[in-house]
Structure formats: C-alpha cells, structure tokens
C-alpha cells in the first residue's frame, strides 16, 4: 500500500518551499485538442458534469456530453445539455429543461446502444423542483427521446446521479442505474435510494436499494464495475457520505442480486470522513484480472477541503493505495474517473480532479491529477494556463479519440470563461532517457532529455536521484516522484556521482537540456541496484515550479 501526500514531506531546510505565487507543473505537458465554452448570456454551471457518450453519429469516434444544469436558456435554472463530436469538437445536439428550477442535465451518462440502431444512446437526469418527482430521459443517439422514467415521489433528486453498466440480468444488454440521494424511505430522512433498470424497452425496474441512516445520501455517487463476485454479471459501487456525522460508506453491490458484497467505512482517525462523496470503477489497475475502484471526498481528509482518494482491490477489498491533498480547499478528489491507458505503456491510470487548488495564490486554477493505477504515484497533471479556471470539477476518461491506443481526458472547468470543457491528449514527459539499464561490466551511457515547457526557459534545473523508490516526497507543496533518502539529499545539494554530466544547469530558451550518465565500468556491488531519477526546475532566484516524471535505471552485470 502506498500512503500519500499527507505522510511524506521533505524536511531538510535546503529543500525550499514552493512560493505561493508560482504555478506548478508536474510530469509532462498535455496537448489540449478540443475546447468548448459556455454561452456567457445563459450559462451558470457549464461543464460541472461531463460524460463520454460513445459514438452517437456513426463516425467511429466517441462523442461527449456537457451539462449546464443551472442554464437559463428556457427558464430560470431549467438546465441544458450539449452533445459534442469527439472527432472535431463541433456541437451535435442540445436540449433544455422544460420548467423553472428543473435542473435538466444534473445527471448525465452514456448508455450504450439501447435501441439497437447501431449508434450509442445517452441518459439525462432532471431532478426537478420541489414539486416534481424527477425524470430521467433516455435519448437515442439521433437526439430523439426513447423513453422517460419518473421518480417515486417529490423532493428526492431522482436522476441526480446516473451510470450505465454491462449486463446485470443476463439478457445480454447493458443496463443502467438511477440514484435519488435525497429520498426519504422507511421512516428515515434523506437516507437516499438507488433504482436499477433493465436496458431493454420498456426499461422495467429490476430492483431498488435504500440507505439505512438519516441524512446518509445513499447513491450520492455511483460507479460501474465488471464482475467482481464471479457470477457472470456486472457489479457496481454506491457512495453513501453520511452528512449527519461525516463517517461515510462505500458499498460494493452485486449487480445480479443487489446484495452487498462488501462495505468500507471512513473514520476521523485516518482522516477519511465523508468517503463515498465520489466513487468510480477504474478497471483492473493491479493486474489480478478483476476491476478495482476508487472513492474520495474532495472536502474531507482532515484539512478543510484538502481531500483524499482511496483505491481498493475489486478482488478482496484490500486498500491498494491512498492519497491526501496537501493544501486547504484544494478539493483533491472532487471528481474521479477511470483513466484507461493514457501513455500507451499497457497500464491503467486513475484521474482525480482538484478544482480548487491554487497553483498560484487565489487562482483556483485547478488540475486533473493523473495517477498510476498500480501504486497511486503521480504520473502528470493536466490543466490550463488560465487563472480561476476550476479545472477538475468534473472529469471523464478511458476513451480514445484518435485511435492511437492511448486514452484522452475530458475535463470540466466551471470558472473558465463562465465554464469550459477541455479534451487533453498525448502527454509529453518532461524527462526521457535512452535506456533503463546500464552494465556494470561493460559500462555504457544513458542520455537524459529534459523537455520542460517554454515557460521554463532559462530556468535552473536539477536531476535528483533516489535509491529507494518513487515516493512521493515534496518540495513545499510541489510533489516529487522520489523517495526521501540520503542520495536524494546529496543530489539536491549537487553532490553527484562522477559518472554524471550536466545533471544540474540552466535550461535553454525552449526549456530544454541534455544530461548524460557515462561510465566505462561500475563496481560489482552496484549490480541489482535500481536508481530512480526525476528533474525539477524553477527560476534561478525563485522557487521550484516544475517537477518531471520519474525514470528508473537498473545496474545489470
């Protein structure tokens, strides 16, 4: 298990704290390939919900949904949804709520091909005002409404949360789940309720589940899983944050029966209160063949708004790793999604939104943290160079728009130009090497290319070395993917092995540099040793502002 940001911080005085006014960039540069923006005249919460819709128009590329559930296009806070092409970002379709305060689009989800016309369909939730039971609309990919489902009673927020998932009832078709997290049942108040529907028309109710505590908001979040109980049917995760006391629960549910497979409980002792505020399936991140899942609370974790994320094994519920935010009101974990394989290396990543993080003071710039699914290490961050953007209020992933085998990221930014959404693709790592092994007997060389962004031109850089792992450690609030040890401190102080050249210096006008490790031979005692390297950069007379991905170098015979 990897514990996260709350536990490991570099403590020697020479490792300077990150100054408040300097934006931080981590891991590599993400290419922004699609940008869509709100209508400034009618929008309020554009892109606070995003979802992958699948291919709705037959061009072979997944499309995506953006919600603005407080939009005033039709009536005050009636809500709107927009469907965009994943091929070029053009708008394919829009729809709007039919009444004041209906909040059309508060829940959105892709649904697969429910009507069997060869195109993917989608779900739109409209919780409605206090006099409404709430409605979920099932849309065909062509924009026509296939069906509408009505909630059981008023003031339940039926349709606030939606997911689609693989077959639950054995008919070979995708099914879907609707949450009513404010539902009051069985003599309880706001205990919440979840409704499981067949994906075959007329979309009958298969079963429902309800929370067992007052003010627990069962169904506040939902996550789709594969088959984790080995009965041949898909399963799912339900978040229950329990607002009354902040304990919170995460429940793994058998899709076939509705029975609870296991539950996880938050505690104040380990600063995991309000767990279940957000949950998501993330695919098989640890390689055991069973889907895993994550849970978070963007304003839990001990520090006000610092947030945290926990990743659990779908096989047995074991905690795989845990990360906590380091800044007040950072909101780390305000959104979660499966990342798929973002870099094409065959492993899966996890996407974590941190929308209120100040990458410079008062900015609220926010970011998407891309974490390695296997161990929770920081892979990279995706953001935009715009102050007060709120990047990460919503996130979706695990979709490949350009067919290169690498997943893209869809991020909502609630404050950027009154709301915006961005599709990020193809991260360029800040540090790349020509090899990951070096022979002790015959020697050799490894060339390291530092490729920081142009805003790091003429910045001072260091390549740091750890002999014990990939951390993380911290320079102030700047995450460093190296474990704190003696060699890390020595490399920070400039005490490098004699076989290194240009491991510290000044980046060129493009933010680049080249360093080498060149050895004719190495002592036999080093055979089997793995060295971990990462680069940092910052203004010559200022704080460190950039940190790279980590690379490893193993000494072989």
The answer on 449 and 364 residing in a single domain is no
**Which strands make up the sheet holding 193-197, listed edge to edge?**
161-165, 175-180, 193-197, 205-210
Nearest to 6 by CA among 324, 298, 481, 330: 324
pTM for the model stands at 0.91
The answer on 366 and 320 residing in a single domain is yes
C-alpha distances in angstroms, 397 versus 10, 22, 297, 360, 373? 32, 28, 19, 26, 13
Count of CB atoms situated within 10 Å of the CB of 98: 14
- In contact, 48 and 414? CB cutoff 8 Å: yes
At 196 the three-state DSSP class reads strand
Domain boundary among 205, 238, 268: 205
Q: In this structure, what CATH number is given to the domain that contains residue 134? A: 2.130.10.130
β pairing state of 335-340 and 349-354:
antiparallel
Chain segment 209-225, per-residue pLDDT in tens: 999 999 999 999 999 99
Domain boundary among 427, 443, 473: 427
Residue 4 inside a domain? The answer is: no
The answer on 385 and 296 residing in a single domain is yes
Residue 90 inside a domain? The answer is: yes
Tokens 């002999």: give the residue: 467
Q: Which residues lie below 8 Å from residue 121, measured CB to CB, with a gap of 6+? A: 56, 110, 111, 112, 113, 114, 115, 138, 139, 140, 141, 146
Q: Can you name the residues that pair with 279 across neighbouring β-strands?
A: 295
532 lies in which domain range? 431-555
Residue 189 inside a domain? The answer is: no
Residue 15 inside a domain? The answer is: no
The answer on 448 and 395 residing in a single domain is no
Residue 306 inside a domain? The answer is: yes
Q: Which residues lie below 8 Å from residue 33, measured CB to CB, with a gap of 6+? A: 401, 408, 423, 424, 425
Chain segment 71-113, per-residue pLDDT in tens: 999 999 999 999 999 999 999 999 999 899 999 999 999 999 9
The answer on 224 and 198 residing in a single domain is no
Residue 21 inside a domain? The answer is: no
User: What DSSP string describes 464-477?
Assistant: EEESS----EEETT
Domain boundary among 205, 238, 271: 205
The answer on 421 and 296 residing in a single domain is yes
The answer on 415 and 333 residing in a single domain is yes
The answer on 457 and 411 residing in a single domain is no
The tokens of 38 are what? 């709100």
C-alpha distances in angstroms, 297 versus 62, 113, 220, 272, 281? 29, 32, 11, 8, 15
pLDDT per residue rounded down to tens, the chain (557 residues):
333 333 233 333 333 322 233 346 889 999 999 999 998 888 888 999 999 999 999 999 999 999 999 999 999 999 999 999 999 999 999 999 989 999 999 999 999 999 999 999 999 999 998 788 999 999 999 999 999 999 999 999 999 999 999 999 999 999 999 999 999 999 999 999 999 999 999 999 999 999 999 999 999 999 999 999 999 999 999 999 999 888 899 999 999 999 999 999 988 767 788 999 999 999 999 999 999 999 999 877 665 568 999 999 999 999 999 988 877 778 899 999 999 999 999 999 999 999 987 654 555 688 999 999 999 988 999 988 766 688 999 999 999 999 999 999 999 998 766 899 999 999 999 999 999 999 999 999 999 999 999 989 999 999 999 999 988 888 876 889 999 999 999 999 999 999 999 999 999 999 999 999 999 888 988 999 999 999 999 998 878 989 999 999 999 99
Residue 448 inside a domain? The answer is: yes
The answer on 355 and 480 residing in a single domain is no
Q: In this structure, what CATH number is given to the domain that contains residue 443? A: 2.60.40.10
C-alpha distances in angstroms, 491 versus 27, 511, 532, 534? 19, 21, 12, 11
The tokens of 376 are what? 């929770």
The answer on 523 and 451 residing in a single domain is yes
Report the number of distinct structural domains present in the chain.
Answer: 3
Mark residue 331 as left, alpha or beta (left: phi above 0; alpha: psi -120 to 50; beta: remaining).
left
Residue 16 inside a domain? The answer is: no
Q: How many residues does the chain have?
A: 557
The answer on 435 and 399 residing in a single domain is no
The answer on 323 and 247 residing in a single domain is yes
What is the C-alpha separation between 100 and 520, in angstroms, rounded? 75
Helix (H) or strand (E) holding 280: strand 278-283
């Amino acid at each position: 298990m990897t514990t996260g940001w709350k536990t490991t911080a570099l403590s020697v005085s020479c490792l300077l704290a990150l100054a408040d006014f300097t934006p931080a960039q981590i891991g590599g540069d993400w290419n922004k390939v699609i940008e869509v923006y709100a209508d400034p005249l009618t929008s309020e919460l554009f892109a606070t919900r995003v979802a992958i819709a699948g291919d709705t128009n037959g061009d072979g590329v997944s499309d995506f949904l953006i919600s603005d559930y407080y939009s005033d296009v039709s009536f005050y806070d009636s809500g709107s949804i927009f469907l965009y092409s994943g091929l070029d970002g053009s708008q394919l379709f829009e729809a709007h709520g039919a009444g004041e305060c209906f909040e059309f689009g508060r829940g959105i989800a892709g649904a697969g091909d429910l009507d069997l016309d060869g195109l993917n369909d989608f779900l739109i939730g409209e919780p409605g005002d206090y006099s409404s039971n709430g409605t979920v609309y099932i849309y065909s990919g062509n924009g026509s409404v296939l069906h509408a489902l009505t909630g059981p009673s008023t003031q339940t927020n039926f349709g606030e949360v939606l997911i689609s998932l693989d077959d639950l009832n054995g008919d070979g078709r995708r099914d879907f789940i609707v949450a009513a997290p404010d539902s009051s049942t069985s003599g309880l108040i706001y205990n919440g309720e979840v409704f499981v529907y067949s994906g075959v028309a007329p979309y009958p109710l298969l079963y429902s589940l309800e929370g067992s505590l007052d003010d627990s908001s069962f169904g506040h979040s939902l996550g789709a899983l594969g088959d984790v109980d080995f009965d041949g049917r898909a399963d799912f995760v339900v978040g229950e944050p329990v607002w009354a006391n902040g304990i919170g629960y995460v429940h793994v549910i058998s899709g076939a029966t509705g029975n609870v497979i296991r539950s996880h409980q938050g505690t104040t002792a380990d600063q995991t209160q309000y767990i279940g505020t957000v949950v998501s399936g993330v695919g098989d991140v640890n390689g055991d063949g069973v889907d895993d899942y994550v849970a978070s609370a963007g304003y839990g974790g001990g520090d006000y708004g610092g947030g945290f994320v926990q990743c659990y094994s779908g096989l047995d519920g074991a905690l795989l790793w845990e990360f906590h935010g380091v800044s007040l009101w950072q909101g780390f974990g305000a959104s979660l999604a499966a990342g798929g394989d973002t870099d094409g290396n065959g492993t899966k990543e996890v996407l974590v939104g941190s929308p209120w993080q100040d990458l410079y003071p008062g900015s609220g710039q926010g970011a998407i943290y891309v974490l390695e699914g296997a161990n929770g290490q920081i892979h990279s961050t995706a953001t935009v160079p715009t102050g007060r953007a709120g990047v990460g209020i919503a996130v979706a992933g695990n979709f490949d728009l350009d067919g290169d085998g690498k997943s893209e990221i869809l991020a909502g930014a609630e404050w950027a130009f009154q709301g915006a959404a961005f599709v990020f693709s193809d991260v360029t790592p800040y540090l790349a090497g020509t090899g990951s092994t070096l022979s002790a007997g015959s020697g050799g060389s490894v060339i390291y290319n530092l490729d920081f962004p142009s805003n790091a031109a003429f910045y001072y850089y260091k390549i740091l070395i750890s002999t014990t792992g990939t951390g993380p450690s911290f320079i102030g609030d700047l995450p460093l993917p190296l474990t704190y040890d003696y060699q890390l401190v020595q490399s920070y102080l400039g005490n490098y092995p004699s076989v290194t050249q240009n491991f510290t210096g000044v980046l060129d006008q493009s933010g680049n540099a080249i360093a080498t490790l060149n050895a004719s031979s190495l002592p036999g005692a080093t055979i089997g040793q793995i060295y971990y390297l990462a680069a940092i950069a910052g203004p010559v007379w200022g704080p460190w502002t950039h940190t790279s991905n980590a690379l490893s170098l193993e000494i072989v015979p």
